[in-house]
Structure formats: structure tokens, C-alpha cells
Structure 1
Amino acid sequence: MNRLLQTDPWGYRGLFLALALLLLFLRLLPLGNTAGALPGPDLMLCLTLAWMMRRPDFLPVWMLVVVFLAEDLILMRPPGLWTALVLVATEFLRARTALTRELNFLVEWLLASGLMLAMLLVYRTVFVVTLLPQPPFGFAAVQVAWSALAYPVVVGLSRLVFDLRKPATGEIDDQGRRL
């Protein structure tokens, strides 16, 4: 089963969609919604960045658009803004697949955290320019900090539970294609 999942990208794509639905469902549950409570991490973003650093071929652009646009619509965010930012970040990582394959985990963690912070700043800049109301900066900064701290946990669980790892340099799949 595990070997089949590793050779079939559709198995991981289905798994990613199932995890996205589960995370969205958990986010919609009315748990801990008291005034002044600290925000939790954006686990969907952590999962996306972690999987993009390991196996970008498992996350096609169309799937990311569907997942994050649905999340925008369900969570009543401006439709497409967060989706566009996630796509820019993931395509930035996809274009640097060879580089991210060689990074040690600390540098990878810093890169993911920097991307999260950059996305927050661009998101809030668009809100300022368009004069949209937005939550206080501290609230958003705490969410990015929690997301950055949750990133290693998401990477560890992806590795241990789903055996999602970076391919070694020169590794090939069953059809003889380079990974």
C-alpha cells in the first residue's frame, strides 16, 4: 500500500484533498471562539508548503486553486486574494525544486517562515490599499508565528505518517523518470 502510494501521485493528491477537507471542516467547527483568544496556526498553508518542498509534482496548480479558492469562499475572505498569494509562493518553491531538495531542515524552515511572513505583508498591504477593514496586526502576526512553529510538526507528521520525503538526487521512479 505504501509503495503504491509512493509511485502513484494520484494517491497523494487524493490524500491532500482529503486532508484539506478535514482541515477546513475543523476550522469551521465552533471551538474556542472566545473574544480575545489567540489564533491558531494556518495548518493548510503549512501542509501545502511542506508538501511543495518535498514533492511539488504531487500538487498541481489546478488542485491548489480549487482548494484555496474554496477556502476563501467558505471562510468569507476576499475571493482569490489568498489563493493568488499561495499560488505565487508555491510556484516560487516549484521553480526552486533543485535548490530546496538540497536545503537542510533549518534553512527550509526559515524559507517557509519567510514566505508566510511575506504573504501576510502582501495580504495586509492589499487590504490597506483597498481600504478594507482588517483584524489588528498583532492578531495576524501571532497566527504567522504559530504557523511557523507548527511547520516542523506538519513536516514530521507528513514524513512519519505518509512517508512523504524529498527524493534523493538522481532518484528515479518506476518508469525511469528522474524525480
Structure 2
Amino acid sequence: MAELMTSRNWLMQSVFLTLCMLVIFFHLLPLTTLPARWPAPDLLICLVFAWGMRRPDYVPVLLVAGVMLMADLLFHRPPGLLAMLVVLGSEYLRRQTAGLRDASFVGEWLSVALAIAAITVLNRLILTLMGVDQAALGPILIQMLMSIAAYPGVVLFSHFLLGVRKLSPSETDAQGGLR
């Protein structure tokens, strides 16, 4: 039984990594030469939060940190800042998972929305304190709202197509007391 759970964890971790690489690839792919009218949602953050709240064993902290650091480097963002904020946000949400297990999806979505808003505000504040040039506030807020709006779609995709479901209390105990 333990071998099956371990191989399933490895498989789902590789699926998560593959999804993240696909998101990064399509983000970097020049599909048009015109500037975008609306900023795209940050699907990496949505993936990390959706998988981290539903199955924390599929998304270990080092994997999240590595993926987000690579995204920082490839997207020419300050290296490590957003990665650190996403790791902190995902760990905060993992701690909230036990309390949200019986709550409706709206409660989970509200927690994720608050985490995304906190990451956006902290990122902006730290970049301002360090004197780093930033994009205008409007597109950043639109991207934050688009990410919050995209979260249910990421959850539906993960749930129905990939089988990433919330852990039941019995599964939590069977897997060694996951948090």
C-alpha cells in the first residue's frame, strides 16, 4: 500500500511539474506581436494553490520553490521574491486546509483570493521599498482579479481531468497524518 501511494505521489508530482512547464512555455511563446489588452491570470499561482490545498503531498515545498524560482528567472522578475511569497502563501493555505475541509468551495476560494491579494500587495510593497521599476498599478490589479477568477477553472480542470481531489479525514490518517 505504501509503495502504491509513493508511486502515485511521484507520478502526480511529475504531472504537476509538467503542467507548470507547459504554462511557462505557453507564456513565453510569442503567439502575437500585438500587446495584450488584458493581463493574463497567473496560472502558476492558481495551480500551486489548487493542488496544495487539495493534495499537499503532490506539491512539496521544494518543488513549488523551484518552479516559481525558475519562473522568476524566465519571466525576468526579481529572482526569488515572488517565489518566496508564493511559498509562504501556499504554506499558509496548507495550514488552513484542515479547517476548510468541511467548508464550501466559496470559503476555499475566498481564502485563495486573500492569499493572492496579499502576495500582490507584498510584492508591490517590497519592490517599491527596493526602488525597482514596476508596471502600472492598473494592470497588476487586473492580473490579480483575473487570477482570482481563474482559480475555479483550475480547480475544475484538476479535479475532473487529473483526479486531484481533497483528502478525506480517513485518507489523511492513512497517509501518516498529512496536514
TM-score (norm 1): 0.90
> Matches of 2:42 and 2:124 in 1, distance apart?
16
Match runs of 1:1-179 below 5 Å: 8-32=8-32, 34-35=34-35, 37-171=37-171, 177-178=176-177
- Mark the CA change 1:86 to 1:157 in structure 2 (over 3 Å): closer, same or farther: same
> Do the aligned partners of residues 172 and 88 (structure 1) sit closer, same or farther apart at CA in structure 2, a change above 3 Å counting?
closer
Point out where structure 2 has 5 or more consecutive residues left out of the alignment: none
How far 1:63 sits from its partner (Å)? 0.6
Over the matched positions of the two proteins, sequence identity in percent amounts to 37
Give unpaired runs (5+ residues) of structure 1.
none
For residue 111 of structure 1, what is the amino acid of its counterpart?
A: S
CA contact (8 A) 2:100 2:107 kept: no
* Residue 94 of structure 1, CA deviation: 1.9
Aligned mates of 1:126, 1:20 — CA distance in 2: 25
Q: How many residues align?
A: 175
Secondary structure at the counterpart of residue 82 of structure 1: helix
1:47-76 deviations in Å (ceiling 9; x for gaps): 110011101111111111110101001111
Deviation string 1:69-110 (CA, Å, 9 cap, x unpaired) is: 010011110000000000110111122331132221011111
Within 1, Cα distance between the matches of 2:35 and 2:24?
21
Partners of 2:6 and 2:113 lie apart in 1 by 27
Cα distance in structure 2, aligned partners of 1:93 and 1:150: 17
| Structure 1 residue 178, shift from structure 2 partner | 4.8
SS at match of 1:171: helix
On the 8 A contact 2:46/2:150 being kept in 1, the answer is: yes
| CA distance in structure 1 between the aligned counterparts of 2:155 and 2:52, rounded to whole angstroms | 11
In 2: Cα distance, 1:113 partner to 1:86 partner: 13
Counterparts of 2:33 and 2:88, CA distance in 1: 31
Distance in 2 between the 1:178 and 1:128 partners?
Answer: 41
